[in-house]
Structure 1
């Protein structure tokens, strides 16, 4: 199920990620969800890919997600 807005994201994402990171997550999830339409684990795969996309741009510091420098 693709997410139309960041408000549609799971609470675990909305409550922990900054807005820009939520946008990255939503975009990556939606793209992966469409790209893996034949995979029976489509939603699980899309969530994993979305988290990986966030981790390329952000890191966790003292429990908070912070944008990587550069």
Structure 2
């Protein structure tokens, strides 16, 4: 199920990611969910893709997610 707003994201996402990372997660999830409409496990696929998208811009520092250093 696509997420209309960050408040609709699962608690495991909302409670751990900063707002911008939640935006990235939600956009990636919604896009992947639509793109994999014919897949039987599309929700699981969409969650994996969304986490991968977040990890491109954020890293975990202890128990917090922080923006990663810009790539050269």
Same fold per superposition (TM over 0.5): yes
Q: Unaligned regions of 5+ residues in structure 2, if any?
A: none
Deviation at 1:45, TM superposition (A): 0.1
Q: Counterpart in 2 of 1:21?
A: 21
Q: Unaligned regions of 5+ residues in structure 1, if any?
A: none
Q: Counterpart in 1 of 2:36?
A: 36
| CA distance, structure 1, for counterparts of residue 45 and residue 62 of structure 2 | 27
SS at match of 1:37: coil
Q: Counterpart in 2 of 1:9?
A: 9
SS at match of 2:16: coil
TM-score (norm 2): 0.95
| CA distance, structure 2, for counterparts of residue 59 and residue 50 of structure 1 | 14
Q: Counterpart in 2 of 1:52?
A: 52
RMSD of the TM alignment (CA)?
0.4
